[in-house]
Structure 1
Amino acid sequence: MLFAQTKVGGKIKDSNGEVLPFVNVIFNKSTEGTTSNENGKFYLQSDASYSELKVSFLGYKTKIIPLQEKVNLEMEIVLQEEAESLGEVRIVRGKTSKKNNPAIDILRKIWENKRSNGVSAFKQYQYRKYEKLEFDLNEIDSTVIENPIFNGMEFIFEYADTNKFSGSTYLPVFINESVYKVYGDNEMNQKREDLVGNKNSGFEQNQNLIAAVKGIYDEYNVYNNYIKVFDKSFVSPLSTTGINNYNYVLSDSAYIDDKWCYNIIYYPRRENELTFKGDFWVNDTTWAVKDINLEASRDANINWVNDLYIEQEFKVLNDSLFLMTRDYFQANFTLFKKEDARGVYAKRTQVFDEYKFNEKKDRSFYTKRQYNFNEDVYSRDQDFWAENRLEKLNDEEEGIYTMLDSLTNVSAFNRIYDIATFFESGYVEFNGWDFGPAYSMFDYNEVEGFRLRLGARTYFGQHDPWRIEGYVAYGFRDETYKYGISGKWLLDPKSRLIISGGRRNDIEQLGSSLTNSTDVLGRSLASSGLVSVGDNNKLSNLELSTFNLSINPWYNFKFRIGASYREISSASPEFSLDYYTNESRTTTASTIKQAEISTMLTYTPGRETTGFGVERSVNNEDEFPTFFVNYSLGLKNVLNSDFDYKKLQFFYNQPLLIGGFGRATASLEAGKTFGEVPLGLLNVVPGNQTFFAMYNSFPVLDFYEFVTDTYVSAHFNHNFNGRFFARIPLLRELNLRELVGVRAVWGEISEENKRLDASGLTLRAPSKEPYFEYNVGVGNILRFLSFKAHFRGNYRNIPDSRNFAFTAAFGFHF
């Protein structure tokens, strides 16, 4: 085991034996330090050699402690109170005063001289960024080392080290290094990152794993009022509203880079809120923050995270500009909130240099990206890393490459990796094929009875230029096989020109969404009769064949043109899709045969993806808006098709972070069908007769309760992230989250389309006034479950209609 040159740790108390939280602990005559936690514990390490430790806190005598050894753990430090009172600001724990508090006076100076981030102060900017990502198994002790699961892998524990924040022993299991050239234009609001070098251990080119860590922590400005981490808005300690959320204490002062600076400690005023604790150094003339440490409160309402640390260092250019030079992030992922719970450290270090400004580039530089997979980027030599590694690896990090190269040859480790991959994706990997997903193997509905589904897809790597995917299903009641198969081929990586096609023959719940597409393996809903409300037998037989051509003329802008042919008929004797075939309404048909061509435009500004193949993974699924337009043309008599029509559809979805009030999602859908079409081609307002949440559906509506050919629909859902529950003592410890929502739809159906229908259903549309529902709920129950109660707002006179619904949703969220 390798050690840094100086390590200290222990507990700090006052003369009465009470633990002292948030005490300033630094190596004497340095700026390397930390603060004690809520229990008075601290740990600090440095690669430098120090002989003294300085412990200080307002209202107590500063203590200089000689360090007899390089490693001094389990120290017990007692601080004595100052003989003279410091007046109103002599408060060391609990709530500090907002008046006559020198720390808050300094904070107001920071607000008055608010820094501008250097890259946002110029028209254009560019810089080099070195990024290091690392995963570590933590709390390594003898019980872990002796666990049979590590048989044959005992050598890995020779690479264990001590975490510089917690003092716990950890084992590095993955490291990834990247070098980027970053370009931005503030006038055009454009940004581009080019990966110029990448090196990792253990999992070659696994960009999905890398993106998982990058996605949880956005770049941010600490001078902003809120800091987004884990898709949540934490109140910044430099926020103009910070005095309502934090206690501030002026702790120390010292010269840093020949500038006199003040050290301010801050900690939360209330428990369970999305706040930090830590300290920052600020210059006494420019009032610019030199460096800042942020540690999320252990009781903050975040799932699966025990500890969270952030460090940032800045270079002040002048009285109004600063540039970030280093950014460090560390999260401890665990299943339990216990202090010594075992888990995984995820760490990210970013170092920035080579800043350049006001070098203008054409808009096409940002909107037309290169999508080609450059293998050279992943095989840079040692000279490249010697020049571009802006922060030297320590001995333990250097050893990860050697250790993991050996580990990937151990069969026991590969078995563990395969199991973890299965639970994450639901697929089993075998010789270039993925079999699954396991989560859709079993189902039940009133037509098929119990249903068994087996699927597979090709997968030779994340940059595969082509992919084939399919499934076979069997219903034990109707004794019928169903299937679906699709294929995609990337013809041109630069423009992402892709051809695709496929065929599907299956049971489907039509009307499960307003904005529909003709993807062969798209959303399939044959609702479960085991957990449904009322009669749920309105299922259809669908035979669908498609061919599509898509291209990305600009970054995150996709244009697709496609052709499809489908045959639709009822799958249940209790349900009909019949329509009249003559003007006198004397003859009917039960099967709809329809050819269609469509053009689709999709724009997703701000979306970040991983991979260069025919399919890419989205890194920031819940962060960017989506705009979608679809124009479809029905072609009568082509392949014996039955109808001519034109259909125009629009969809817009917008995630919203509303400061400290949580996260919301708003969406708008609109559409119109021009021409006469039967029930199977109309737009059904998506009801939901199950007890499970369905995206953009109306849980109090039954299937086919409203049918339209013209519609406008809006949805709004908000998660307060526990803002109010955190203030209720009996609920505070449960980390529950408040959920509210409202949805509405207006639509109409023409008399011509009503006359065409022979199904026997009552075709009605919410045309007199928009139909609306609202809901309230509680989320984060047991950290993975949420419940919502839904209430019908109007149209209560519809026969057999429901006025109330209850849905549940499962998911693992931070």
Structure 2
Amino acid sequence: MFKRCSLFLIFLCYSITYAQTISEQLSEPEQDSIKKTEFLKQLGNGFFPTKYFNFDLRYLIKYNQYEGVRTGIGIETNDEFSKKYRVNSYVVYGFRDHRFKYSVGGGFRLTEKSNTWVNLSYTDDLQETGSTKFLTDKRFFQFFEPRLLNIDLFHKHITKSISLEHELTPKLLTETELAVSKIEPTYAYNFNINGDTFNNFDLSTAKIAFQWSPFDVISESKKEAVDGYPKFTLQYTKSFNDVLNGDFSFSKLDFRTILKIGDEKNAFSEITFVSGAASGDTPLTHLYHAYPNNITKETILQRFSVAGLNSFETMYFNEFFSDKFATFQLKHFLKPFNVSPRYKPQMVLITRFAIGDMKNPERHQNIAFGSLKKGYSESGFEINKLLFGFGLSFSYRYGGYHLPSFADNVAFKFTFNVSL
């Protein structure tokens, strides 16, 4: 716990210093207001802009249980470089596994009206086992991703891909990807299919994703958009056996919707529903884990860490895996406490529910996990922005997977929120 808290405090100091530097730069009287707005927009998207290149801040510094400190830099060309071509790459280094990871990619635009791009990439990196990435979620960025601190189950992958981005309408985005991957779990794992055992494997996959935001308000120039809710994301994945050396045939269907009700400046509610289903010969690496964020330690204080944004705080890492699952999360944000113009803590009431199952758990060898078929429930609250972005979180586990010891059902953690 001491190491995690120390790292968190170092990152906090870095974030505050960085934010203060940016704030000072933006407060200079000679800065044009339009440039300030554009700079903040780029920063909010995870970029530090320069004339021809933008530095990608997602790779600056992170921490997890497998790599330890992970640091590096990413770079992407911008419109000043070219509006028809782009290059994006990153390189990172893990100080615990002593290994470089990297990606090299680029793309070219076919048509401007529909913002149609063809992209190619080569990536040698890690991915969390049981996680799902939507193709249309590329620009998700946080200064600090708390859940990463405790993840220890990763698989290495070398992936070559080609994809096509296309706007069917300004409110309906699509992306299609063809990829081949070499997968190697970093943990002891065997996947048994009809007596054949695999501890590493090749995949040949095709994906198609849709992101529909029917209530967004978009300007005529398409340069400005105001988020409207609900938003819907749907993704289908097909893995092919004996195509480009693929080892397994399986399919996945993933869905997510986000709804916000109320005024974000006062009290409002946020509902997130996520579901997924996999069929066929699907290895554990590509199944579902339901976003756990609790480490396996004996006492509440030993488990004290940092709460995630949409994770189950009382669910232990690697406790459950599913080939079909659904999660529901309700957050109700109370009106901020108006202590002073600059100090406005906010309480958030939270309840989460997950359900799932697995058809053939015996196929996944050398790793123990449970099922979610009885339904998993937790509720709690957060008090955010108490001091320098710090807050506190309390969650309690109940229902079908309530544990005999009271302390094992409790998660007490930091929260961390920084906005520019």
Task: Answer whether TM exceeds 0.5 for this pair.
Answer: yes
Are the equivalent residues in 2 in contact too, given 1:509–1:524 (CA < 8 A)?
A: no
Report which of the two has the higher share of strand.
2
Residue equivalent to 1:377: none
Relative to 1, partners in 2 of residues 1:812 and 1:478: Cα closer, same or farther, differing over 3 Å? closer
Residue equivalent to 1:358: none
Is 1:481 matched up with 2:86? no
Are the equivalent residues in 2 in contact too, given 1:627–1:652 (CA < 8 A)?
A: yes
Q: Distance in 2 between matches of 1:601 and 1:474?
A: 33
Aligned counterpart in structure 2 of residue 596 of structure 1, from 199, 205, 222: 205
Q: Distance in 1 between matches of 2:139 and 2:32?
A: 35
Residue equivalent to 1:761: 367
Aligned counterpart in structure 2 of residue 544 of structure 1, from 156, 159, 179: 159
Residue equivalent to 2:134: 517
Cα deviations by residue, 1:356-402 (Å, 9 ceiling, x for unpaired)? xxxxxxxxxxxxxxxxxxxxxxxxxxxxxxxxxxxxxxxxxxxxxxx
Q: Distance in 1 between matches of 2:63 and 2:243?
A: 36
Q: Distance in 2 between matches of 1:611 and 1:545?
A: 36
Is 1:777 matched up with 2:382? yes
Aligned counterpart in structure 2 of residue 746 of structure 1, from 345, 351, 355: 355
Task: Tell me the number of residue pairs that the alignment of Structure 1 and Structure 2 aligns.
Answer: 382
Are the equivalent residues in 1 in contact too, given 2:94–2:100 (CA < 8 A)?
A: yes
Q: Distance in 1 between matches of 2:161 and 2:137?
A: 7
Relative to 1, partners in 2 of residues 1:799 and 1:635: Cα closer, same or farther, differing over 3 Å? farther
Aligned counterpart in structure 2 of residue 432 of structure 1, from 49, 52, 58: 52
Residue equivalent to 2:417: 810
Residue equivalent to 2:20: none
Are the equivalent residues in 2 in contact too, given 1:783–1:812 (CA < 8 A)?
A: no
Are the equivalent residues in 1 in contact too, given 2:292–2:312 (CA < 8 A)?
A: yes
Q: Give the counterpart letter for 1:508 in structure 2.
A: Q
Q: Give the counterpart letter for 1:476 in structure 2.
A: F
> Superposition pairs for residues 387-398 of structure 1, below 5 Å?
none
TM-score (norm 1): 0.42
Residue equivalent to 1:580: 192
Cα deviations by residue, 1:544-591 (Å, 9 ceiling, x for unpaired)? 2221113222231123222122222222xxx3232114x3x4x52211
Are the equivalent residues in 2 in contact too, given 1:592–1:680 (CA < 8 A)?
A: no
Q: How far is 1:521 from its partner?
A: 6.9
Helix, strand or coil at the partner of 2:38: helix
Are the equivalent residues in 1 in contact too, given 2:46–2:141 (CA < 8 A)?
A: no
Cα deviations by residue, 1:246-297 (Å, 9 ceiling, x for unpaired)? xxxxxxxxxxxxxxxxxxxxxxxxxxxxxxxxxxxxxxxxxxxxxxxxxxxx
Are the equivalent residues in 2 in contact too, given 1:552–1:558 (CA < 8 A)?
A: yes
Relative to 1, partners in 2 of residues 1:485 and 1:606: Cα closer, same or farther, differing over 3 Å? farther
Percent identity over the alignment is 18
Residue equivalent to 1:557: 172
Helix, strand or coil at the partner of 2:314: coil
Residue equivalent to 2:84: 465
Residue equivalent to 1:716: 330
Q: Distance in 2 between matches of 1:174 and 1:523?
A: 27
Q: Distance in 1 between matches of 2:330 and 2:259?
A: 10
Q: How far is 1:542 from its partner?
A: 1.9
Q: Distance in 2 between matches of 1:789 and 1:670?
A: 25
Q: Give the counterpart letter for 1:674 in structure 2.
A: S
Q: How far is 1:481 from its partner?
A: 1.5
Residue equivalent to 2:13: none
Are the equivalent residues in 2 in contact too, given 1:445–1:528 (CA < 8 A)?
A: no
Q: Distance in 2 between matches of 1:594 and 1:801?
A: 42
TM-score (norm 2): 0.78
Q: Distance in 1 between matches of 2:129 and 2:372?
A: 19
Q: Distance in 2 between matches of 1:761 and 1:799?
A: 24
Helix, strand or coil at the partner of 1:639: coil
Q: Give the counterpart letter for 2:418 in structure 1.
A: G
Q: Alpha carbon RMSD of aligned pairs, Å?
A: 3.8
Helix, strand or coil at the partner of 2:181: strand
Q: Distance in 2 between matches of 1:594 and 1:480?
A: 23
Are the equivalent residues in 2 in contact too, given 1:646–1:674 (CA < 8 A)?
A: yes
Relative to 1, partners in 2 of residues 1:664 and 1:461: Cα closer, same or farther, differing over 3 Å? farther
Aligned counterpart in structure 2 of residue 653 of structure 1, from 241, 255, 258: 258
Q: Which has the larger radius of gyration?
A: 1
Q: Give the counterpart letter for 1:699 in structure 2.
A: E
Relative to 1, partners in 2 of residues 1:423 and 1:508: Cα closer, same or farther, differing over 3 Å? closer
Helix, strand or coil at the partner of 2:315: coil
Q: Distance in 1 between matches of 2:158 and 2:72?
A: 17
Residue equivalent to 2:279: 674
Are the equivalent residues in 1 in contact too, given 2:294–2:317 (CA < 8 A)?
A: yes
Q: Distance in 1 between matches of 2:396 and 2:314?
A: 7
Q: How far is 1:519 from its partner?
A: 7.8
Relative to 1, partners in 2 of residues 1:464 and 1:784: Cα closer, same or farther, differing over 3 Å? farther
* Structure 1 runs not aligned, ≥5 long: 1-148, 154-170, 177-202, 213-420
Helix, strand or coil at the partner of 1:793: strand
Q: Give the counterpart letter for 2:163 in structure 1.
A: N
